[in-house]
A and B are shown apart, each in its own frame.
Chain A
Amino acid sequence: MAADHSTTHFQRFDLPQSFDVDAALLDERYRDSQRAVHPDRFVNASDQERRLSMQQATLLNEGYRILKDPLRRGRYLLELQGYRFDDEHHTTSDTAFLMEQMELREALGEVREADDAFAVLGEIMERIDGDLDQLLGELRQQLDSGAAADLQQAADCLTRMQFFRKLQDEAMELEVELEDELA
Chain B
Amino acid sequence: MALLQISEPGESTAPHQHRLAAGIDLGTTNSLVASVRSGVTDTLPDKDARHLLPSVVRYRADAAPVVGYDALAAATEDPLNTIASVKRLMGRGVEDVKTLAEHLPYEFVPGSSGMPLLHTAGGDVSPVEVSAEILRTLKTRAEESLGGELAGVVVTVPAYFDDAQRQATKDAARLAGLNVLRLLNEPTAAAVAYGLDQGGDGITAIYDLGGGTFDVSILRLNKGVFEVMSTAGDTALGGDDLDRLVADWIMQQAGMQAGASHVDMRRLMLAARTAKEALSEQTSTTVVLELDGTANWTGELTRDRLDELIAPLVEKTLGPCRRALRDAGIRAGDVQSVVMVGGSTRIPLVRERVAGFFKTEPMVDIDPDRVVAVGAAIQADILAGNKPDSEMLLLDVIPLSLGIETMGGLSEKIIQRNSTIPTARAQEFTTFKDGQTAMSLHVVQGERELVDDCRSLARFELRGIPPMVAGAARIKVTFQVDADGLLSVTAEEQTQGVTSGIDVKPSYGLSDNEIETMLRDSMDSAAGDRDLRRLREEQVEADRVLEALHSALASDADELLGDAERKSIDAAAQALAAVRRGDDYREIKRAIAAVEQASSGYVERRMNSSIRSAMAGHKVDEFNAP
Seen from chain A, the residues whose Cβ lies within 8 Å of a Cβ on chain B are: 1, 4, 13-14, 28-29, 31-40, 43-49, 52-54, 56-58, 61-62, 64-65, 172-173, 175-176, 179-180, 183
Contact = CB atoms under 8 A, between A and B. Distances in A.
B382 A40 contact: yes
20 contacts: A14-B615, A33-B611, A33-B614, A33-B615, A34-B393, A38-B393, A43-B384, A44-B385, A45-B544, A49-B607, A52-B604, A52-B607, A56-B611, A58-B422, A61-B419, A61-B423, A64-B420, A65-B420, A176-B319, A183-B319
Contacts of B225: 31, 35
Nearest to A38: B393
Contact of A34 (B382, B395, B480, B613): B395
Contacts of A47: 541, 545, 592, 596
Pairs of residues from A and B, 5 with the lowest C-beta to C-beta distance, nearest first: A36-B614, A39-B483, A1-B600, A46-B545, A36-B610
B600 A40 contact: no
Nearest to B482: A54
Counting chain B residues whose Cβ lies within 8 A of the other chain, the interface size class is: 35 or more
B18 interface: no
Interface in B406-434: 419-424
A62 B423 contact: yes
A46 B548 contact: yes
B618 interface: yes
A53 B610 CA distance: 11
B482 A39 contact: yes
Nearest to A28: B618
Contacts of A13: 615
A31 B613 CA distance: 13
Given A40-B379, A44-B544, A183-B318, 9 more contacts: A14-B615, A37-B610, A40-B383, A43-B383, A46-B541, A46-B544, A47-B592, A56-B607, A61-B423
B174 interface: no
Interface string B218-254: 0000100101000000000000000000000000000
B319 A44 contact: no
B608 interface: yes
A14 B616 CA distance: 9
Given A36-B610, A48-B603, A175-B326, A65 B393 contact: no
Nearest to A62: B423
B319 A180 contact: yes
Contacts of B420: 61, 64-65
B184 to A, nearest CB: 10
A179 B422 contact: no
B476 interface: no
B603 A49 contact: yes
Given A40-B394, A64-B420, A180 B545 contact: no
Interface string B513-545: 000000000000000000000000000010011
A172 B326 contact: yes
A134 to B, nearest CB: 20
Nearest to B544: A46
A40 B483 contact: yes
Nearest to A53: B607
A54 B480 contact: yes
Contact of B608 (A4, A45, A172): A4
Contacts of A31: 222, 225, 227, 393
B55 interface: no
Contacts of B119: none
B596 A48 contact: yes
Interface string B133-169: 0000000000000000000100000000000000000
B505 interface: no
Contact of B618 (A1, A32, A34, A180): A32
Contacts of A54: 422, 480, 482-483
A29 B615 contact: yes
Contacts of A37: 607, 610-611
